[in-house]
Structure 1
Amino acid sequence: MAAWGLDDDQIYDTLLVISELVTNAVTHALPPVTLHLQASADASGRVQVHVADGGTASAPRTWAANRPDDEHGRGEDIVTALADHTGTHADDTDSLIDHWADLTAA
């Protein structure tokens, strides 16, 4: 990410967004879970984080279901606070759900 022009704070924010999106997918969704990062090729200075999963699981994984309420539930707020734009897109061709966030990289 440093090669893309991100400074230490931007790298930290991007890694935190990645962590939250991946954790959410592993905890609440069906496999497979994939991560894709992309830096913009133009002067917009954006990095995109995409985490795709197999859709919502019928029940959370045992680990997540057994955690106290004060130990979860803040991930979406963290991603929204750090990213400029966020969203979700369902891909009908492969049945994956893409959760994405755009962050300023420059």
Structure 2
Amino acid sequence: MDDEQTNAAVLVISELVTNAVSHVGSGLVTVEWIRRDDLLLIDVGDEAPHKPPRVHLMTGDDDEHGRGLPLVMMLTRQFVVLRRDGVSGVAPQKIIRVAFDCPETGNDCCLAQAAWAGES
């Protein structure tokens, strides 16, 4: 991934985690990513499977909310909402899965390094 794609992925993770915390209120929020072929898949989960995300396709100039998910959809190759059933004491989750193109390169998909850069 180049710097622009990496920055977009970090922005998308930030938006999805912020939405999960803001709209769900409590419970576990998870972030997982995996490279599959030429895609970077990012899953952000929360413990509110009954609350689907609301995408506002039209917002007013002065609206403070409603721009995040359309932005996520513009920046990613794929946007899917999944449900993960709870097992062995783990609550069911709603999963927002996004995908980015991640072709084979010398630096590989180094999102983990980019996301935590600057932290000691």
User: What TM bracket, shorter-length normalisation?
Assistant: 0.7 to 0.9
Q: For structure 1, which runs of at least 5 residues remain unmatched after alignment? A: 1-5, 59-68
Identity of aligned residues (%): 34
Q: Distance in 1 between matches of 2:71 and 2:40?
A: 17
Structure ranking higher in helix proportion = 1
1:31 aligns with: 27
Aligned residues: 88
Alignment TM-score, normalising by the size of structure 2: 0.66
**Is 1:12 aligned with 2:7?**
yes
CA RMSD of aligned residues (A): 2.0
Q: Distance in 2 between matches of 1:56 and 1:50?
A: 14
Alignment TM-score, normalising by the size of structure 1: 0.74
Q: Distance in 1 between matches of 2:76 and 2:95?
A: 16
Alignment of 1:66-81 (within 5 A): 70-81=63-74
Contact kept? 1:28, 1:57, Cα under 8 Å: no
CA 1:27–1:38 in 2, change beyond 3 Å: closer, same or farther? same
Q: For structure 2, which runs of at least 5 residues remain unmatched after alignment? A: 52-61, 104-120
